[in-house]
Structure 1
Amino acid sequence: MPVNETLSQYSDWSYTTAVAVYVLAMVFFLVEQSFGRKGRQAAARTRERAQELVGAGGGPVGTVAVPPPGETAGPRPPRTRAERIGRMGAALTVLGALLHLAALVLRGLATSRVPWGNMYEYIMIVCFIAVVTWLAVMRKFPVRHLSAFVLLPVVILMFVGGTWLYAVAAPLVPALQSYWLVIHVSAAASASGVFLVPGVASILYLVKARHERDPAKFARFGARLPALDVLDRIAYRTTVFAFPVFTFGVLCGAVWAEAAWGRFWGWDPKETVAFIAWVIYAAYLHSRATAGWRGNRAAIINVIGFAATVFNLFFVNLVTTGLHSYAGVS
């Protein structure tokens, strides 16, 4: 089918605008990260004061104080300027995600196919999944001020994808005209996007751990990071979610390889590095479940797995030659 050039142009505009919005959101989050410490310290003092009152006879810790009949609870403390800026950054991130989604949908409508048939489109969907995953994490954990560290690799990936790896909207090459493209590549892209979040969380964990061992190291930055337990839980829970999806994607890739090339596994560079990444993440989850590994060792394994995923995305696709080289997709 012919490509709809108008929808393709709208997709490109949405993509570029999404990158610009993400950059602006990063600025807002960096302001909150840099100047929001006083507000967080005030909140911590409020919690400590509440615990003191509970200890003085206000009831068990964690219970909600009920005001006497005829009285109302006190007003909520006003938000600090840094907190308001952080909330604006979160709103911009949602707006960027909507523009990002529009770019994907318009690209698919313009080409009458799923929008992940080349490296440009693949990076687009990986980054979209990463942003959506982080928005879900922000609702669960108080880590909004760390959003700039997640958006930074997203913006870099999208910049590289939109410049050096950009591909004009076109029909699929014959080798990719299979329903397995929908199943296999969507699973691989979803897992890769989710894996970006635990990768960043584990890097921040190592920085925080080093700061706690030696407060002189990363003095300003480390003090503003969340507790180690929070970063560890983010890394573990998102990896637990992504690993089965990644496993499903690898298995579907093997089935597609048998249908297309007559073998389930041929140690192609893409297959080999994907298997190595799978083993690393399996070792991470296994060590957490059986040996009780936590702390630096678990974080280092997770960072290595993230590095293998990035290596597979760029180096294997762009430098090596293999059966996956024609499209730059998994």
Structure 2
Amino acid sequence: MKTWSFGGHATNVGLENTSTHFLYASAVVLAFAMFAFAFDLAGHPGRVARAAAALEESETEAAGAASAGGSTTVIERTSTATAPAPQKRQWAGIGMALAWLGAILLGACVLTRSMSVGRPPLGNMYEFAIVGAFFVMCAFLLWSLRRDVRSLGLFVVGPTVLTEMLAATIFYTAASSLLPSLQNYWLTIHVTVAILSVAVFTIAFSTTILYFVQKWREDSGDTKFQFMDAVPGSDVMDRTTYGLLIVAFPLWTFTLIAGAIWAQKAWGHYWSWDPKETWTLVIWVVYAAYLHARATAGWTGKKAAYIAVAGFVCILFNFCIVNVFFVGMHSYSGM
């Protein structure tokens, strides 16, 4: 197997290429999953119409039987008529199956990337992106084991596919050994928790956007986009976003604290107002304001959602702008 040496550490080019192939395969599979979820949403008005027709037919049969058999039959037949069998969601099932397969392929991408350099794949923006996409899929799929989140599949898998495409085309960095300042066990702790929290923030951003869409439909009395009836209403999306951010915020707090501890070990001081450190603090402040506004001022709905969107915009700025264009002690994007 052909290898190249980077700073005394051998990089397995064969495994690096295999990792890239797994990434491409995962993107293709998740793209098909995205289409399957879209077809499921598109078929929602038809499912509702079929269920209503089945219920009406059952009630008609019950009424006919009642006229022939008396009031006792009315009660018995009506009780069964009001509970028609649930409509099958074949496309949603296909989407979930493909989502699991795509996540497994993405996990294989992360694993082989790690094996190609003999370290955790956390050293540059490409590796951050693929691990982050994997964590998003893991969070969504584990969530699906407890709740029926199939109607949200399109809005979670879609951003994941976009991240994979950006990783493959823009963020890609050849596998190499870490810079000396990164060769510390705090890398695994600090960066892993940071990526996990960003994964939850990403899902919360999707539910926030869905909140705005559903709120607009409810306020305007929308009848054109009936496929969105399959997605929970604005109140549910608002509460879901709040629950997700309650999980993500402590993780981001730990990221901030762990980064300061690592900075002291690596550079001799806890804080230096480096651009990356500063924007990490800005993100923390914005999401702290969101949770504080909900807990003390009772903010819900649009006012709270605007803050949540602002927080994710800061995350995107931190990842896509600060990492690439700002020079500082955290300039490890590899681009």
Q: For this structure pair, what is the TM-score category when the shorter chain's length is used for normalisation?
A: 0.7 to 0.9
Give, in angstroms, the shift of residue 231 of structure 1: 1.1
Of the structure 1 ranges 183-192 and 161-170, higher mean CA displacement relative to structure 2 is found in 161-170
Of the structure 1 ranges 217-226 and 14-23, higher mean CA displacement relative to structure 2 is found in 217-226
Segments ≥4 residues shifted beyond 6 Å? 44-48
Query: Structure 2 stretches of 5 or more lacking a match?
Result: 1-8, 57-75, 77-81
Query: What is the SS of the residue equivalent to 2:331?
Result: coil
Q: How far apart, in 2, do the equivalents of 1:221 and 1:306 lie?
A: 27
Q: 1:153-188: CA deviations, max 9, x gaps?
A: 211111111112111111112221111111111111
Q: How far apart, in 2, do the equivalents of 1:46 and 1:249 lie?
A: 53
Give, in angstroms, the shift of residue 146 of structure 1: 2.5
CA contact (8 A) 1:270 1:312 kept: yes
Q: 1:27-55: CA deviations, max 9, x gaps?
A: 1001011112332466689999xxxxxxx
Query: What is the SS of the residue equivalent to 1:99?
Result: helix
What is the root-mean-square deviation in Å for CA atoms of aligned residues?
2.9
Confirm or deny that 1:10 pairs with 2:18: yes
Sort the Cα spacing of 1:231 and 1:44 in 2 relative to 1 into closer, same or farther, 3 A: farther
2:174 equivalent among 157, 168, 175: 168
TM-score (norm 1): 0.85
CA contact (8 A) 2:215 2:233 kept: no
Q: 1:217-258: CA deviations, max 9, x gaps?
A: 974465443112321222111111111111111111111112
CA contact (8 A) 1:210 1:217 kept: no
Amino acid at match of 1:324: H
- Once the two structures are superposed, the pairs formed by residues 1-330 of structure 1 within 5 Å of their partners are 1-40=9-48, 77=85, 79-80=87-88, 83-216=89-222, 219-220=225-226, 222-327=228-333
Q: How far apart, in 1, do the equivalents of 2:96 and 2:261 lie?
A: 40
Give, in angstroms, the shift of residue 267 of structure 1: 1.5
Sort the Cα spacing of 1:162 and 1:279 in 2 relative to 1 into closer, same or farther, 3 A: same
Sort the Cα spacing of 1:227 and 1:17 in 2 relative to 1 into closer, same or farther, 3 A: same
TM-score (norm 2): 0.84
Q: 1:89-142: CA deviations, max 9, x gaps?
A: 001001111111111111111111001111101001111111111223334443
Query: What is the SS of the residue equivalent to 1:3?
Result: strand
Give, in angstroms, the shift of residue 6 of structure 1: 2.3
Amino acid at match of 1:2: A
Sort the Cα spacing of 1:142 and 1:37 in 2 relative to 1 into closer, same or farther, 3 A: farther
Of the structure 1 ranges 221-230 and 37-46, higher mean CA displacement relative to structure 2 is found in 37-46
CA contact (8 A) 2:125 2:334 kept: yes
Name the larger-Rg structure. Answer: 2
Query: Structure 1 stretches of 5 or more lacking a match?
Result: 49-67, 69-73
